[in-house]
Amino acid sequence: MGHGIAASATMGRLRTAVRTLADIDLSPDELLTHLDDIVTHTDEEQDFDADDAIPGEIGATCLYAVYDPVSGTCSMARAGHLAPVLVLPDGSGRVVGLPTGPPLGLCSLPFEAVDLDIPDGSVLALFTDGLVTSREGDFDEDLSDLQRALAQPARSLDALCDSVLASVCTQPRTDDVALLLARTKRLSEDQVADWAVPPDPVAVATIRREVVDRLAAWHLEAAAFVAELAVSELVTHAIRYGAEPIRLRLIRERSLICEVSDGSSTSPHLRRARTFDEGGRGLFMIAQLARRWGTRYSMTGKTIGAEQQLDELIP
């Protein structure tokens, strides 16, 4: 809500907070809960003396979505924001049914996430209310116009954005307009490898060899050293400190992702081992060699993953 320096500064803080929370792989509903706490505490600390100063946090809305290209599912949650429009490959479109949730910083109520199976090649449209709210138009009619415009064929998403804005924004708008389009692309079975890991330290060597063989089949021998180290350390960590079931997954796309899941929610800690310590260096080595690493949690345990950027290794 609002315009000017206060609202702009607020958006900058919220964007930074969202990026920070997203980096630790929180689920959409949990991320919005933390973001709501940040906004609430910021409101309590700020003092707006100017008569025309509007606290930008009051009424701030957010729609957060995470798409999984392996399973083809998208998890979404919203805090007072308009629900997105989903356009299927056949051209049919609909507004995604999401629980509304209160705007950020108002009620501190829990948010609810929805998992949606999205067909490959669909288009997900996220937008601000300025796109479907004109001075004299009807909201439902404007939303229907948006759905029809999104269903029109276009050579690219950029071209579709241009045509949608030209078709929908025919009257002067009273608010800012933002439109974000994303086309879903599910990874093929050949881009994912999955293993069940026995809870036995002897299995680490066998799993490591199978990973090297799979990387050779993918023609990714240059990435084998770091991947083999990550697999060895993460699988050993899961066997030693985690719980069954333990699974290893490799994902090959623009980067190579190694993920190890287990049934324990115990959080791993990165520490710097002392000179004569016999252990404690595994996660530190992964953090140094991988592009990034992190942990995400689920209802059944946790997943620790490490990512390698392939274009840095392979011409």
pLDDT tens-digit series, residues 296-309: 888 889 999 999 98
- What pLDDT is attached to residue 315? 46
CA dihedral 266, 272, 274, 278 (to 10 degrees): 50
- What pLDDT is attached to residue 42? 66
Cα-based distances in Å from 104 to 4, 42, 98, 273: 19, 11, 16, 41
Read off the tokens for 51: 């008569």
- What pLDDT is attached to residue 37? 87
Mean pLDDT calculated for residue range 42-61: 55
DSSP SS3 for 141: helix
Cα-based distances in Å from 77 to 111, 113, 267: 7, 4, 25
Q: At residue 157, what is the residue type?
A: L
- What pLDDT is attached to residue 43? 59
Q: What is the pLDDT of residues 72-95, one digit of tens each?
A: 999 999 999 999 999 999 989 899
Q: Residue 285: which pLDDT band, with cuts at 50, 70 and 90?
A: confident
Mean pLDDT calculated for residue range 127-136: 78
Structural domains of the chain, with CATH: 5-183 (3.60.40.10), 189-312 (3.30.565.10)
Mean pLDDT calculated for residue range 4-24: 86
- What pLDDT is attached to residue 50? 45
Candidate from 86-95, 117-126, 144-153, 169-178 with smallest mean pLDDT? 169-178
Candidate from 112-116, 176-180, 232-236, 273-277 with smallest mean pLDDT? 273-277
- What pLDDT is attached to residue 137? 65
For the chain, what is the mean pLDDT?
Answer: 86
Give CA angle at 37 (31, 38), nearest 5°.
Answer: 90
Q: Taking 50 as the threshold, does the pLDDT of residue 57 lie above it? A: no
In whole angstroms, give the CA distance from residue 26 to residue 37.
15
Q: Tell me the residue length of the chain.
A: 315
Q: Where are the alpha helices (DSSP H) in the chain?
A: 5-22, 28-45, 139-150, 157-168, 203-217, 224-241, 282-289
Candidate from 17-21, 38-42, 217-221 with smallest mean pLDDT? 38-42
Q: Taking 60 as the threshold, does the pLDDT of residue 46 lie above it? A: no
Q: Residue 277: which pLDDT band, with cuts at 50, 70 and 90?
A: low
Closest CA to 206 of 219, 217, 191, 196: 196
Mean pLDDT calculated for residue range 227-245: 92
In whole angstroms, give the CA distance from residue 58 to residue 81.
13
Binning the chain into helix, strand and coil, the percentages to the nearest 5 are 35, 25, 40
Contact of 280 with 264, CB cutoff 8 Å? no
Q: Taking 70 as the threshold, does the pLDDT of residue 134 lie above it? A: no
- What pLDDT is attached to residue 255? 93
Q: At residue 280, what is the residue type?
A: G
Q: Residue 284: which pLDDT band, with cuts at 50, 70 and 90?
A: confident
Please state the pTM of the whole predicted model.
0.83
